[in-house]
Amino acid sequence: MTDDPGAGAPTKLTASKQRWAQEGRFLTGHTARPEAERLPPGQHLVTNWPVLDLGMHPDIPASRWRLEVFGAVDKPVLWDWAGFQALPQTRAVSDIHCVTTWSRYDNAWDGVLTRDLLQAVSPRADARHVVLQSYDGYTTNLPLADFAAEGAVLAHRWQGAPLDQVHGGPVRLVVPHLYFWKSAKWLQRIEFRTEDRPGFWEVRGYHNRGDPWAEQRYSEE
């Protein structure tokens, strides 16, 4: 019928290769997903880094910067720059997925993992939600489980250099497994809550969770 050696009944080797492809075996990227699935549905890759926000870029020198953590936690804190820098510092590399359809691969963030922050403030057993408040008045909300996810980081450096003011410096949140609107720039306050409270975009038609793999861009209403 055909002389294509690849066609015909699957051999042991082709069956293994198909399985390797599905598992993404032999890929050298940072992700465990097969390369073809690294880009979520409806996204396109960019190599620049677009700036998106409410149009105000607060100028907060490190000397005046404070981060308040309050609400349903046993140890509320107000960190200044030195206090924040004294927390464990980690590099986390991740991809950005913005709801406006651009994605940017391999961003190296340096800062405090949300897991280390949780260690420091001890959320109460009934804490379920987190609300981020920023110096420009922006807010966004997350389930505590998403805030605590692997790779989520309060970042103050990007690709080895201090985070640019336009991208949220001195400190922004990065939650890589959700659309980028959840990653609050110019972070000022973190509130732990027993009840959810939708943020700026969430009350304006964006999805409450924002999973790029499920294309949770906008709410159904």
Ligand X SMILES: Nc1nc2c(c(=O)[nH]1)N[C@H]1C(S)=C(S)[C@@H](COP(=O)(O)O)O[C@H]1N2
Residues that bind Mo ion (CB under 5 A): 52, 98, 181
Q: C-beta of 2: minimal distance to ligand X in Å? A: 49
Measured from the CB atom, the residue of 113 and 184 that comes closer to ligand X is: 184
Cα separation, 112 vs 53, whole angstroms: 23
Measured from the CB atom, the residue of 181 and 192 that comes closer to ligand X is: 181
Give buried/exposed letters for 51-76 (b at 16+ CB in 10 A, else e). eebeeebbebeeeebebebebbbeee
Measured from the CB atom, the residue of 127 and 173 that comes closer to Mo ion is: 173
Amino acid at 101: T
| Residue 179 and residue 71 in contact, taking contact as beta carbons nearer than 8 Å | no
Q: C-beta of 53: minimal distance to Mo ion in Å? A: 8
Measured from the CB atom, the residue of 117 and 136 that comes closer to ligand X is: 136
Residue with tokens 């103050």: 156
Determine whether 21 is exposed, middle or buried from the number of CB atoms within 10 Å of its CB (0-12, 13-18, 19+): middle
- Before 170, cis peptide (omega within 30)? yes
Q: C-beta of 111: minimal distance to ligand X in Å? A: 14
Cα separation, 190 vs 130, whole angstroms: 7
Footprint of ligand X (CB under 6 A): 49-54, 98, 134, 136, 138, 167-168, 180-181, 183-186
Q: C-beta of 37: minimal distance to ligand X in Å? A: 22
Which of the choices Mo ion, ligand X, none does residue 134 contact, using the CB cut-off of 5 to 8 A by kind? ligand X
Cα separation, 151 vs 40, whole angstroms: 18
Which of the choices Mo ion, ligand X, none does residue 83 contact, using the CB cut-off of 5 to 8 A by kind? none
Measured from the CB atom, the residue of 21 and 52 that comes closer to ligand X is: 52
Measured from the CB atom, the residue of 151 and 168 that comes closer to ligand X is: 168
Which of the choices Mo ion, ligand X, none does residue 185 contact, using the CB cut-off of 5 to 8 A by kind? ligand X
CA dihedral 142, 69, 164, 155 (to 10 degrees): -70
Which of the choices Mo ion, ligand X, none does residue 158 contact, using the CB cut-off of 5 to 8 A by kind? none
Q: C-beta of 168: minimal distance to ligand X in Å? A: 6
Q: C-beta of 186: minimal distance to ligand X in Å? A: 5
Which tokens go with 102? 């651009």
